[in-house]
Amino acid sequence: MNDQRLEFNRRDCVKTAGPITGAAVISVPPLIDARDAPPSRVSMNILINGKPCSFTVDPRMTLLDLLRERIGLTGTKKGCDHGQCGACTVLVNGRRINSCLSLALTNDGETITTIEGLAVGDQLHPLQTAFIECDGLQCGYCTPGQICSAAGLLREAAQERTELTDDEIREQMSGNICRCGAYPGIVEAIHKVYRQSRGSDDSAAGRG
Ligand code: FES
Ligand code: FES
Protein backbone atom coordinates (compact mmCIF):
# COMPACT_ATOMS: atom_id res chain seq x y z
CA MET A 1 0.00 0.00 0.00
CA ASN A 2 1.58 3.30 -1.05
CA ASP A 3 1.42 6.69 0.73
CA GLN A 4 -1.23 8.03 -1.61
CA ARG A 5 -3.65 5.26 -0.70
CA LEU A 6 -3.00 5.80 2.98
CA GLU A 7 -4.08 9.45 2.62
CA PHE A 8 -7.41 8.45 1.03
CA ASN A 9 -9.59 8.65 4.12
CA ARG A 10 -13.22 7.90 4.88
CA ARG A 11 -14.43 11.46 4.23
CA ASP A 12 -12.83 11.51 0.76
CA CYS A 13 -14.52 8.20 0.10
CA VAL A 14 -18.00 9.59 0.99
CA LYS A 15 -17.38 12.70 -1.14
CA THR A 16 -16.48 10.73 -4.25
CA ALA A 17 -18.85 7.77 -3.79
CA GLY A 18 -21.98 9.95 -3.98
CA PRO A 19 -21.60 11.30 -7.49
CA ILE A 20 -20.28 7.97 -8.80
CA THR A 21 -22.94 5.67 -7.34
CA GLY A 22 -25.83 8.15 -7.28
CA ALA A 23 -26.27 7.43 -3.59
CA ALA A 24 -27.24 10.24 -1.21
CA VAL A 25 -24.22 11.88 0.35
CA ILE A 26 -24.50 12.05 4.09
CA SER A 27 -23.16 15.37 5.32
CA VAL A 28 -20.70 15.00 8.12
CA PRO A 29 -21.28 17.48 10.94
CA PRO A 30 -18.23 19.68 11.56
CA LEU A 31 -16.06 18.73 14.46
CA ILE A 32 -16.69 20.86 17.52
CA ASP A 33 -13.62 22.92 18.31
CA ALA A 34 -13.11 23.43 22.02
CA ARG A 35 -12.13 27.01 21.21
CA ASP A 36 -15.69 27.70 20.02
CA ALA A 37 -17.22 26.80 23.36
CA PRO A 38 -18.25 29.79 25.44
CA PRO A 39 -15.60 30.32 28.12
CA SER A 40 -16.57 30.12 31.74
CA ARG A 41 -16.21 33.37 33.62
CA VAL A 42 -13.54 33.69 36.26
CA SER A 43 -13.39 35.71 39.48
CA MET A 44 -10.57 38.15 40.12
CA ASN A 45 -9.63 40.85 42.62
CA ILE A 46 -7.54 43.92 41.95
CA LEU A 47 -6.73 47.22 43.60
CA ILE A 48 -7.54 50.04 41.18
CA ASN A 49 -6.43 53.52 42.13
CA GLY A 50 -6.39 52.46 45.78
CA LYS A 51 -9.84 50.89 45.68
CA PRO A 52 -10.29 47.11 46.08
CA CYS A 53 -12.48 45.70 43.27
CA SER A 54 -13.84 42.22 42.56
CA PHE A 55 -15.04 41.05 39.15
CA THR A 56 -16.16 38.02 37.26
CA VAL A 57 -14.56 38.26 33.83
CA ASP A 58 -14.37 36.51 30.52
CA PRO A 59 -10.78 35.18 30.55
CA ARG A 60 -10.29 36.71 27.09
CA MET A 61 -11.03 40.26 28.28
CA THR A 62 -8.10 42.67 28.22
CA LEU A 63 -7.19 44.90 31.12
CA LEU A 64 -7.95 47.89 28.87
CA ASP A 65 -11.52 46.71 28.24
CA LEU A 66 -12.01 45.92 31.90
CA LEU A 67 -10.98 49.45 32.84
CA ARG A 68 -13.00 51.20 30.16
CA GLU A 69 -16.06 49.00 29.64
CA ARG A 70 -16.62 47.43 33.05
CA ILE A 71 -15.32 50.06 35.46
CA GLY A 72 -15.90 53.20 33.40
CA LEU A 73 -12.35 54.52 33.77
CA THR A 74 -12.27 55.99 30.28
CA GLY A 75 -9.22 58.15 30.92
CA THR A 76 -7.15 55.22 29.63
CA LYS A 77 -7.48 55.42 25.85
CA LYS A 78 -7.78 52.79 23.18
CA GLY A 79 -5.72 53.77 20.17
CA CYS A 80 -4.39 50.88 18.09
CA ASP A 81 -5.47 48.04 20.43
CA HIS A 82 -2.34 46.24 19.20
CA GLY A 83 0.43 47.42 21.51
CA GLN A 84 1.81 49.97 19.10
CA CYS A 85 0.71 53.43 20.25
CA GLY A 86 0.95 53.51 24.06
CA ALA A 87 -2.40 55.32 24.48
CA CYS A 88 -3.53 52.56 26.85
CA THR A 89 -0.52 52.74 29.20
CA VAL A 90 -1.29 52.15 32.88
CA LEU A 91 0.86 51.25 35.87
CA VAL A 92 0.76 47.74 37.32
CA ASN A 93 2.58 47.66 40.66
CA GLY A 94 4.25 50.86 39.50
CA ARG A 95 5.50 49.43 36.20
CA ARG A 96 4.12 50.73 32.93
CA ILE A 97 2.38 48.34 30.59
CA ASN A 98 0.17 48.49 27.51
CA SER A 99 -3.17 47.46 28.96
CA CYS A 100 -4.47 46.40 25.53
CA LEU A 101 -1.89 43.59 25.52
CA SER A 102 -2.58 42.37 29.03
CA LEU A 103 -5.42 39.98 29.87
CA ALA A 104 -7.41 41.31 32.81
CA LEU A 105 -7.17 37.95 34.55
CA THR A 106 -3.38 37.94 34.56
CA ASN A 107 -3.54 41.02 36.78
CA ASP A 108 -5.45 39.20 39.51
CA GLY A 109 -4.18 40.45 42.89
CA GLU A 110 -2.18 43.32 41.38
CA THR A 111 -2.27 47.06 42.03
CA ILE A 112 -3.34 49.14 39.03
CA THR A 113 -2.93 52.89 38.69
CA THR A 114 -4.62 54.75 35.86
CA ILE A 115 -4.54 58.42 34.96
CA GLU A 116 -7.56 58.92 37.24
CA GLY A 117 -5.50 57.73 40.20
CA LEU A 118 -2.50 60.05 39.86
CA ALA A 119 -3.99 63.24 41.28
CA VAL A 120 -4.62 63.49 45.01
CA GLY A 121 -8.00 65.12 45.41
CA ASP A 122 -7.82 68.46 43.60
CA GLN A 123 -4.04 68.39 43.58
CA LEU A 124 -2.67 67.36 40.21
CA HIS A 125 0.28 65.01 39.94
CA PRO A 126 3.47 67.01 39.19
CA LEU A 127 3.55 65.45 35.70
CA GLN A 128 0.00 66.62 34.99
CA THR A 129 0.95 70.14 36.03
CA ALA A 130 4.15 70.06 33.97
CA PHE A 131 2.36 68.81 30.86
CA ILE A 132 0.00 71.78 31.10
CA GLU A 133 2.79 74.29 31.79
CA CYS A 134 5.04 72.95 29.03
CA ASP A 135 2.34 72.53 26.35
CA GLY A 136 2.88 68.78 26.35
CA LEU A 137 -0.44 68.16 24.62
CA GLN A 138 -2.69 69.31 21.84
CA CYS A 139 -5.76 67.11 21.29
CA GLY A 140 -4.95 65.24 24.51
CA TYR A 141 -5.81 61.76 23.27
CA CYS A 142 -2.37 60.33 23.94
CA THR A 143 -1.84 62.35 27.12
CA PRO A 144 -3.13 59.90 29.78
CA GLY A 145 -0.84 57.22 28.35
CA GLN A 146 2.08 59.66 28.07
CA ILE A 147 1.70 60.74 31.69
CA CYS A 148 1.33 57.20 33.07
CA SER A 149 4.33 56.13 31.02
CA ALA A 150 6.32 59.13 32.26
CA ALA A 151 5.40 58.28 35.86
CA GLY A 152 6.71 54.75 35.28
CA LEU A 153 9.86 56.11 33.65
CA LEU A 154 10.65 58.45 36.56
CA ARG A 155 10.20 55.54 38.97
CA GLU A 156 12.51 53.35 36.88
CA ALA A 157 15.12 56.12 36.72
CA ALA A 158 14.99 56.58 40.50
CA GLN A 159 15.29 52.85 41.17
CA GLU A 160 18.05 52.26 38.67
CA ARG A 161 19.76 55.62 39.32
CA THR A 162 19.66 56.38 35.62
CA GLU A 163 20.55 59.86 34.40
CA LEU A 164 17.70 61.09 32.25
CA THR A 165 18.88 63.27 29.42
CA ASP A 166 16.43 64.52 26.82
CA ASP A 167 17.69 61.82 24.44
CA GLU A 168 17.15 59.19 27.10
CA ILE A 169 13.63 60.46 27.75
CA ARG A 170 12.86 60.33 24.00
CA GLU A 171 14.20 56.80 23.83
CA GLN A 172 12.38 55.58 26.91
CA MET A 173 9.11 57.22 25.83
CA SER A 174 9.32 55.95 22.25
CA GLY A 175 6.47 53.50 22.84
CA ASN A 176 4.07 56.40 23.33
CA ILE A 177 3.05 57.95 20.04
CA CYS A 178 1.66 61.48 19.76
CA ARG A 179 -0.07 62.10 16.45
CA CYS A 180 -0.19 65.82 17.19
CA GLY A 181 3.59 65.90 17.48
CA ALA A 182 3.64 67.48 20.94
CA TYR A 183 6.97 65.77 21.63
CA PRO A 184 9.04 68.87 22.51
CA GLY A 185 6.58 69.81 25.27
CA ILE A 186 6.29 66.22 26.47
CA VAL A 187 10.07 65.86 26.83
CA GLU A 188 10.34 69.26 28.51
CA ALA A 189 7.55 68.38 30.99
CA ILE A 190 9.14 65.07 31.94
CA HIS A 191 12.55 66.66 32.29
CA LYS A 192 11.10 69.38 34.48
CA VAL A 193 9.60 66.87 36.91
CA TYR A 194 12.77 64.80 36.80
CA ARG A 195 14.80 67.86 37.82
CA GLN A 196 12.30 68.67 40.56
CA SER A 197 12.51 65.13 41.89
CA ARG A 198 16.29 65.50 42.12
CA GLY A 199 15.97 68.84 43.85
CA SER A 200 17.57 70.68 40.94
CA ASP A 201 15.93 73.39 38.89
CA ASP A 202 18.96 73.93 36.69
CA SER A 203 17.40 73.80 33.23
CA ALA A 204 20.73 72.87 31.71
CA ALA A 205 21.31 69.93 34.01
CA GLY A 206 21.45 66.62 32.22
CA ARG A 207 20.12 67.97 28.91
CA GLY A 208 20.93 65.75 25.98
S1 FES B 1 -4.13 50.92 22.40
FE2 FES B 1 -2.65 49.78 23.48
S3 FES B 1 -0.79 50.26 22.53
FE4 FES B 1 -2.27 51.26 21.30
S1 FES C 1 -1.78 65.41 21.91
FE2 FES C 1 -2.93 64.67 20.24
S3 FES C 1 -2.13 62.68 19.92
FE4 FES C 1 -0.85 63.53 21.41
C-beta of residue 93 within 8 angstroms of C-beta of residue 110: yes
B/e letters for 70-91, b = 16+ CB within 10 Å, e = fewer, are ebebebbbbbeeeeebbbbbbb
pLDDT band for position 7 (50/70/90)? low
Residue-wise pLDDT tens digits, 137-185:
999 999 999 999 999 999 999 999 989 999 999 999 999 999 999 999 9
Which residues belong to CATH 1.10.150.120 in the chain?
Answer: 118-200
Residue-wise pLDDT tens digits, 22-75:
555 566 666 666 666 767 899 999 999 999 999 999 999 999 999 999 999 999
Ligand nearest to the CA of 86: 1
Fold of 118-200: DNA polymerase; domain 1 (1.10.150)
* DSSP string of 159-198, one letter each residue: HHT----HHHHHHHTTTS--TT--HHHHHHHHHHHHHHHT
Ligand nearest to the CA of 101: 1
Query: pTM for this structure?
Result: 0.80
Between the CA of 136 and the centroid of ligand 2 the distance, in Å, is 9
Collapsing DSSP to helix, strand or coil, 93 comes out as: coil
Which residues belong to CATH 3.10.20.30 in the chain?
Answer: 40-117
- Which amino acid residue places its CA nearest to atom 4 of ligand 2? 178
Between the CA of 32 and the centroid of ligand 1 the distance, in Å, is 33
C-beta of residue 95 within 8 angstroms of C-beta of residue 150: no
Residues touching ligand 2 (Cβ under 6 Å) are 137-143, 178-180, 182
Fold of 40-117: Ubiquitin-like (UB roll) (3.10.20)
**3 pLDDT above the threshold of 70:** no
Ligand nearest to the CA of 141: 2
> What span, in angstroms and rounded, lies between the C-alpha atoms of 201 and 114?
28
pLDDT band for position 207 (50/70/90)? very low
Contacts of 79 (CB under 8 A, 6+ apart): 85, 86, 87, 88, 141, 142, 145, 177
Q: Is 179 in the pocket of ligand 1 (CB under 6 A)?
A: no
Give the position, in ligand 1's atom list, of the atom nearest the Cα of 77: 1
Residue-wise pLDDT tens digits, 89-134:
999 999 999 999 999 999 999 999 999 999 999 999 999 999 999 9
If you average pLDDT over every residue of the chain, what do you get?
Answer: 87
